[in-house]
Homo-oligomer: A and B are copies of this chain.
Amino acid sequence: MSSLAELPTPAALIDVARMQANILRMQQRMDALGVHLRPHLKTSKCPQVAAAQRAAGARGATVSTLKEAEEFFDAGIDDLVYAVGMVPARLPQALALRRRGCTLTLVTDSVAGAEAIAAHGRAHGETWPVWIEVDADGHRSGVDPEGEALLAVAAALAGGGARLDGVMAHAGSSYGLDTPAALQALAEQERARTVRAAERLRAAGHACPVVSVGSTPTALSAAQLAGVTEVRAGVYVFFDLVMHNVGVCTLDEIALSVLTRVIGHQADKGWVIVDAGWMAMSRDRGTQRQRQDYGYGQACSEDGRPIPGLCLDDANQEHGILHWRGDAGGEPLDRRFPVGSLLRLLPNHACATGAQHPAYQALRPDGRTEAWPRFNGW
């Protein structure tokens, strides 16, 4: 336990009260829409954060690496979806986890992938639960819900060694939107295309019990989720400046920041130099093409209030440069922000910023902090 002044900087600070409010908001919304919430744990990679999501009502979890699957299974979560297209080389690692008792669902969007999973299952006396990834918005992976590949992948799973348990989609293009109407329309498109894929599979004789959709912006914008059984979302647990620009959170709801100390000034340029560079913030420039560009982060006071006009406009590895965009008058910058003083920086992208840190510092409502470990790697 320590106060902020005693923490080494830079540090990834979680405002626990904000995090709890974000978790509650999403869980209540999913409850109202009548679907399960399966949080994506790639955002935090932290057992304490996952435990808070479970305590609020989450069912199972989503992971982006088998390392996450292993760590969260060890932390007591036994219903996991590995939401990245499976390749043969990773099946032995997945099998080891399954043999330990984990319900590990795999994902594929190709006949070759489905055949490899099924063959591996048959060779090892396993029946892999598999979801077929559906393309909701042309964003990345997935089969066309109206195309032939959907049924061909399902057929490739039908010969033993695998079991088609569901379909999933991720409307990742939602990060590029910023109006409620556009977000609601994309949420409906994600829902409708994924449900349509499930209906075609059922008409072809497959059970397909699970219909899984999700991204934080669409989850918070969907008007209804008829036919959907569960939603996956990740970044809502912390939120960030990208989500603020998308329009799904206020600055005051962002629960992750980087605590930093002022290490110098270039007074004539209006620069404040801090000890959070891109190593602490990540190189993510996700707000660059959004309605407001925050550089590498929005500066806040030590107690978390945004300082209008002060953003991390440039970042070297261990140096951050805050450019003062505000009024040039008033107190000089080196007196207003003296060497050694503390600031917080709100991140563009919480998943990327968290990944730069070996642990979080969780700031409790009573002002005490404690270290919450996180992990990286594959």
Query: Which positions in A face B, CB cutoff 8 Å?
Result: 8-10, 42, 64-65, 84-90, 93, 109-110, 112-113, 116, 135, 138, 140-141, 172, 261-266, 269, 273, 275, 278-279, 282-285, 314, 316-319, 321, 334, 338-340, 349, 351-352, 355-358, 376-378
Looking at A10, A141, A358, which has the most chain B CB atoms within 10 Å of its CB? A141
A273 and B317 contacting across the interface, CB-CB below 8 Å: no
A-B contact pairs, 14 of them (CB 8 A): A8-B89, A64-B317, A65-B318, A84-B319, A85-B264, A87-B275, A113-B263, A113-B264, A116-B339, A138-B269, A140-B314, A283-B349, A283-B352, A358-B376
Contacts known (A113-B264, A141-B319, A172-B316); A88 close to B340, Cβ less than 8 A: yes
Looking at the complex, which one of B138, B278, B355 makes contact with A279 (CB distance below 8 Å)? B355
Contact B112 A339 (CB under 8 A): yes
Contact A317 B141 (CB under 8 A): no
Kindly identify which residue among B10, B283, B314 contacts A285, using a CB–CB cutoff of 8 Å.
B283
| Shortest beta-carbon distance from A370 to chain B in Å | 17
Q: Which of B85, B90, B358 contacts A377 (CB 8 A)?
A: B358
- Among B9, B93, B334, the residue within 8 A (CB) of A89 is B9
CB distance from A285 to the nearest CB of B (A): 7
Which interface residue of A87, A264, A340 has the most chain B CB atoms within 10 A?
A: A264
Bound-state Cα–Cα, A109 to B263, Å: 9
Report Cα–Cα, A54/B128, bound state, in Å. 51
A273 CB to closest chain B CB (Å) equals 6
Taking a contact as CB atoms closer than 8 A, the residue among B113, B263, B376 that contacts A87 in the complex is B263
Complexed CA–CA distance, A89 and B4 (Å): 12
- Cα distance, A334 to B351, chains bound together (Å): 31
A141 touching B89 by the CB < 8 A rule? no
Query: Which residues from chain B contact A140 at a C-beta distance below 8 Å?
Result: 273, 314, 316, 319, 321
Given A86-B263, A283-B284, A283-B285; 20 other pairs, CB 8 A cutoff: A8-B90, A10-B378, A42-B318, A85-B264, A87-B262, A87-B275, A87-B340, A88-B340, A110-B264, A110-B334, A112-B338, A140-B314, A140-B321, A141-B264, A141-B266, A141-B319, A282-B283, A285-B285, A317-B351, A357-B377
Instruction: Using A283-B284, A355-B356 as known contacts, say yes or no to A340 and B141 having CB atoms under 8 A apart.
Output: no
